[in-house]
Structure 1
Amino acid sequence: MRRSAVVIILVLTGLVLFGQGACIHVKALVAQLLLQRAFDATVATGLKAKPWSWADTWPIARIEVKRLGASAIVLAGSSGQALAFGPGHVEFTPDAGERGVVIYSAHRDTHFRFLQHVTIGDEIVVTRNDGKVFRYRADGASIVRFDASGIDPLSGGYELVLSTCWPFDAATSGPMRYLLHATLIADVAAAWANE
């Protein structure tokens, strides 16, 4: 009798832990579907569309790595609440296609899980919520402490940095960050500068 009670408790504990882990991934998936709908509405109307009535953020861009079939809707701001639903646009960094370093940040186990498979030379497509599309080419990666990235968002180039926690397979968070660096493809940057 005692042994069966222990087994039942262990099975129930395992189911609860599994359910909590699965909940994070289900929430991320459902949120991206709602965010995609809001993003499409914003592009179509030019008005900010919130993904749900109580949202304190809105979609500002879609990021895609077509070779991997990876796509995510980027939210305004990079607070913990925003990052629970999608990648966040780090405050005080330029918008995609503008001079400087655009920084998007997301969790390594949900929205930026695909970063571990991006290779140098991959094309990263960013579509802003005004419908403008910008193509970047991955040209490097670095691993840094969260407080020592060395990134100057107001530098003179046209760059994109995708940031997530490191290492990818860690079970707990830590101080290290993986940064994927990309540069706006030259023909697009030149056309944008001439506008």
Structure 2
Amino acid sequence: MPRCRTRFALAALIGLTGLVLVGQGLWIHAKALLAQVLLARAFAETIASGAPVKPWRWADTWPVARIAVPRLGREAIALAGASGQALAFGPGHLPQTPEAGDPGTAVYAAHRDTHFAFLAEVAIGDEIRVTRRDGRVVRFRVTHTSIVRHDAAALDPHAPGRRLVLATCWPLDARTDGPLRYLVHAETVEDQKMPAPDPSH
């Protein structure tokens, strides 16, 4: 009889542990989705007022851009800074980089399993639209992707042109953090070189 109770208690403990782990995973995704709703409201108010509006009273960040990939029907509100707290709720704009559309390379980072999960589906040639906090919409075209070590990305925020990089952890399906980052590189549509016309046509 005691052996039966021990097995039952062990099975119940394993089941409870599983439920807790599943619940934590669901909570992370639910929090990310709810945050995007609150961030969208704050971003609309930011554009309307011209001043940063926090998504909730105790937030230590505020929305600075909306990143959209029309072909995929995906978008996310990006926050000022890339602290752990900011990245829990949305992509973060690296503060040492320019705003999207300004000269240089604007960099936004997010977690691969929530806000930037769609980067796995982004293809070369895709359009990325970034709506800035001043309401200006800047169109970018994806030029290439790369995989680099986090400490060797060599992204120059002062590079010529108007560039955009979206960054997340690599591999995209990994369960633990690692040293590699997946980067999606894009240039403003206006800054891209168009192929020279064929004189024979």
Give the TM-score of the pair, scaled to structure 2.
Answer: 0.91
2:41 is matched with which residue: 37, 49, 65? Answer: 37
Distance 2:144 2:115 in 1: 20
| CA offsets 1:37-87 (integer angstroms, 9 cap, x no match) | 000111112121100000111000000001111100010011111111100
Point out the more displaced range, 4-13 or 154-163: 4-13
1:135 Cα deviation after fit? 0.3
Question: Structure 2 unaligned runs (5+)?
Answer: 193-201
1:187 Cα deviation after fit? 6.8
Q: For residue 178 of structure 1, what is the aligned residue in structure 2?
A: 182
Identity %: 61
Query: Highest CA radius of gyration, 1 or 2?
Result: 2
Distance 1:18 1:61 in 2: 32
Tell me, yes or no, if structure 1 residue 22 matches structure 2 residue 26. Answer: yes
Q: For residue 150 of structure 1, what is the aligned residue in structure 2?
A: 154
1:127 Cα deviation after fit? 0.2
SS at structure 2 position matched to 1:101: strand
Q: For residue 138 of structure 2, what is the aligned residue in structure 1?
A: 134
Tell me if structure 1 keeps the 8 A contact 2:161–2:191: no
2:93 is matched with which residue: 80, 89, 94? Answer: 89
Distance 1:68 1:16 in 2: 33
Question: Structure 1 unaligned runs (5+)?
Answer: 189-195
Q: For residue 169 of structure 2, what is the aligned residue in structure 1?
A: 165
Distance 1:49 1:37 in 2: 9
Tell me, yes or no, if structure 1 residue 74 matches structure 2 residue 53. Answer: no
Distance 1:80 1:49 in 2: 20
| Aligned amino acid, residue 178 of structure 1 | Y
Distance 1:149 1:104 in 2: 13
Tell me, yes or no, if structure 1 residue 102 matches structure 2 residue 106. Answer: yes
Q: For residue 117 of structure 2, what is the aligned residue in structure 1?
A: 113
Q: For residue 192 of structure 1, what is the aligned residue in structure 2?
A: none
Give the TM-score of the pair, scaled to structure 1.
Answer: 0.94
Paired residue total: 189
Deviating above 4 A after TM superposition, structure 1's stretches of 4 or more consecutive aligned residues are none
2:68 is matched with which residue: 64, 69, 78? Answer: 64
| Aligned amino acid, residue 107 of structure 1 | H
